[in-house]
Amino acid sequence: MQMLYQWELGGNTPEQVGASFFDERKAGQEVQKFARELFGGAVEDVKKLDSLIREHAENWRLERMAAVDRGILRLAVYELLHCPETPPAAVIDEALEIARRFSGQGAVEFINGILDSVLKSLPAGKAKS
Protein backbone atom coordinates (compact mmCIF):
# COMPACT_ATOMS: atom_id res chain seq x y z
CA MET A 1 0.00 0.00 0.00
CA GLN A 2 2.81 2.41 0.83
CA MET A 3 4.45 1.72 -2.52
CA LEU A 4 1.18 2.45 -4.33
CA TYR A 5 0.77 5.64 -2.32
CA GLN A 6 4.31 6.73 -3.18
CA TRP A 7 3.73 5.92 -6.84
CA GLU A 8 0.42 7.78 -7.07
CA LEU A 9 1.22 10.89 -5.03
CA GLY A 10 4.98 11.07 -5.24
CA GLY A 11 5.15 11.32 -9.00
CA ASN A 12 7.69 8.52 -9.20
CA THR A 13 7.65 5.83 -11.85
CA PRO A 14 6.89 2.28 -10.71
CA GLU A 15 10.52 1.43 -11.44
CA GLN A 16 11.77 4.24 -9.18
CA VAL A 17 9.48 3.21 -6.34
CA GLY A 18 10.37 -0.46 -6.70
CA ALA A 19 14.08 0.29 -6.76
CA SER A 20 14.18 2.58 -3.73
CA PHE A 21 11.32 1.58 -1.43
CA PHE A 22 13.25 -0.96 0.62
CA ASP A 23 16.40 1.16 0.90
CA GLU A 24 15.17 2.59 4.20
CA ARG A 25 13.07 -0.35 5.36
CA LYS A 26 14.10 -3.68 6.78
CA ALA A 27 12.39 -6.66 5.21
CA GLY A 28 13.45 -10.14 4.23
CA GLN A 29 13.97 -11.09 0.61
CA GLU A 30 10.69 -13.05 0.44
CA VAL A 31 8.70 -10.11 1.84
CA GLN A 32 10.37 -7.74 -0.61
CA LYS A 33 9.70 -10.08 -3.52
CA PHE A 34 6.02 -10.49 -2.57
CA ALA A 35 5.55 -6.74 -2.03
CA ARG A 36 7.15 -5.91 -5.37
CA GLU A 37 4.97 -8.47 -7.16
CA LEU A 38 1.79 -7.07 -5.61
CA PHE A 39 2.83 -3.49 -6.31
CA GLY A 40 3.88 -4.20 -9.90
CA GLY A 41 0.74 -6.17 -10.62
CA ALA A 42 -1.53 -3.52 -9.13
CA VAL A 43 0.16 -0.74 -11.12
CA GLU A 44 -0.02 -2.76 -14.31
CA ASP A 45 -3.71 -3.58 -13.73
CA VAL A 46 -4.74 -0.23 -12.18
CA LYS A 47 -7.37 0.63 -14.80
CA LYS A 48 -9.19 -2.68 -14.31
CA LEU A 49 -8.86 -2.43 -10.52
CA ASP A 50 -10.18 1.13 -10.49
CA SER A 51 -13.10 0.15 -12.69
CA LEU A 52 -14.03 -2.69 -10.34
CA ILE A 53 -13.68 -0.45 -7.27
CA ARG A 54 -15.88 2.22 -8.89
CA GLU A 55 -18.49 -0.41 -9.70
CA HIS A 56 -18.70 -1.47 -6.03
CA ALA A 57 -18.26 1.91 -4.35
CA GLU A 58 -21.82 3.13 -4.45
CA ASN A 59 -22.12 6.91 -4.41
CA TRP A 60 -18.34 7.37 -4.20
CA ARG A 61 -16.05 8.64 -6.92
CA LEU A 62 -12.60 7.09 -6.84
CA GLU A 63 -11.05 10.55 -7.06
CA ARG A 64 -12.81 11.61 -3.82
CA MET A 65 -11.52 8.66 -1.82
CA ALA A 66 -8.51 9.18 0.40
CA ALA A 67 -5.33 8.16 -1.41
CA VAL A 68 -4.54 5.68 1.36
CA ASP A 69 -7.95 4.04 0.93
CA ARG A 70 -7.49 3.85 -2.85
CA GLY A 71 -4.14 2.13 -2.34
CA ILE A 72 -5.56 -0.36 0.14
CA LEU A 73 -8.48 -1.15 -2.15
CA ARG A 74 -6.31 -1.50 -5.26
CA LEU A 75 -3.93 -3.84 -3.50
CA ALA A 76 -6.67 -5.99 -1.95
CA VAL A 77 -8.70 -6.22 -5.15
CA TYR A 78 -5.56 -7.15 -7.07
CA GLU A 79 -4.84 -9.87 -4.55
CA LEU A 80 -8.43 -11.16 -4.65
CA LEU A 81 -8.23 -11.42 -8.44
CA HIS A 82 -4.69 -12.69 -8.93
CA CYS A 83 -3.52 -14.52 -5.80
CA PRO A 84 -5.68 -17.63 -5.42
CA GLU A 85 -3.24 -19.09 -2.90
CA THR A 86 -4.23 -16.39 -0.40
CA PRO A 87 -7.66 -16.97 1.17
CA PRO A 88 -10.01 -14.04 0.44
CA ALA A 89 -10.81 -13.68 4.15
CA ALA A 90 -7.08 -13.19 4.84
CA VAL A 91 -6.82 -10.57 2.08
CA ILE A 92 -9.75 -8.62 3.51
CA ASP A 93 -8.55 -8.95 7.11
CA GLU A 94 -5.12 -7.64 6.14
CA ALA A 95 -6.65 -4.72 4.22
CA LEU A 96 -8.71 -3.80 7.27
CA GLU A 97 -5.66 -3.96 9.54
CA ILE A 98 -3.79 -1.64 7.18
CA ALA A 99 -6.78 0.73 7.17
CA ARG A 100 -6.84 0.74 10.99
CA ARG A 101 -3.18 1.65 11.02
CA PHE A 102 -2.92 4.15 8.18
CA SER A 103 -6.35 5.56 7.39
CA GLY A 104 -8.96 7.77 9.00
CA GLN A 105 -12.16 7.25 10.90
CA GLY A 106 -14.75 5.21 9.02
CA ALA A 107 -12.22 3.78 6.58
CA VAL A 108 -12.41 0.24 7.95
CA GLU A 109 -16.17 0.01 7.39
CA PHE A 110 -15.91 1.71 4.01
CA ILE A 111 -13.15 -0.59 2.75
CA ASN A 112 -14.80 -3.68 4.21
CA GLY A 113 -18.05 -2.87 2.40
CA ILE A 114 -16.37 -2.44 -0.96
CA LEU A 115 -14.17 -5.53 -0.63
CA ASP A 116 -17.12 -7.64 0.52
CA SER A 117 -19.09 -6.49 -2.52
CA VAL A 118 -16.17 -7.22 -4.87
CA LEU A 119 -15.69 -10.66 -3.34
CA LYS A 120 -19.38 -11.53 -3.76
CA SER A 121 -19.18 -10.55 -7.43
CA LEU A 122 -16.31 -12.90 -8.22
CA PRO A 123 -16.93 -16.30 -9.80
CA ALA A 124 -17.59 -19.03 -7.23
CA GLY A 125 -14.10 -20.54 -7.51
CA LYS A 126 -12.47 -17.20 -6.70
CA ALA A 127 -14.80 -16.39 -3.80
CA LYS A 128 -13.82 -19.24 -1.51
CA SER A 129 -12.64 -18.19 1.91
CATH classification of the domain holding 30: 1.10.940.10
pLDDT of residue 129: 41
What is the Cα–Cα distance from 17 to 6, expressed in whole angstroms? 7
> Considering its fold, how many domains does the chain have in total?
1
Q: Would residue 127 count as lying in a domain?
A: no
Structural domain span for residue 7? 2-121
Q: Would residue 108 count as lying in a domain?
A: yes
The pLDDT tens digits for 3-59 are 888 888 888 888 888 778 877 777 778 887 888 899 999 999 999 999 999 999 988
User: 2-37 burial string, b = 16+ CB within 10 Å, else e?
Assistant: bbbbbbbeeebebeebbeebeeeeeeeeeeeeebbe
First and final C-alpha spacing in the chain = 22
Q: pTM here?
A: 0.87
Q: Would residue 78 count as lying in a domain?
A: yes
Q: Would residue 128 count as lying in a domain?
A: no
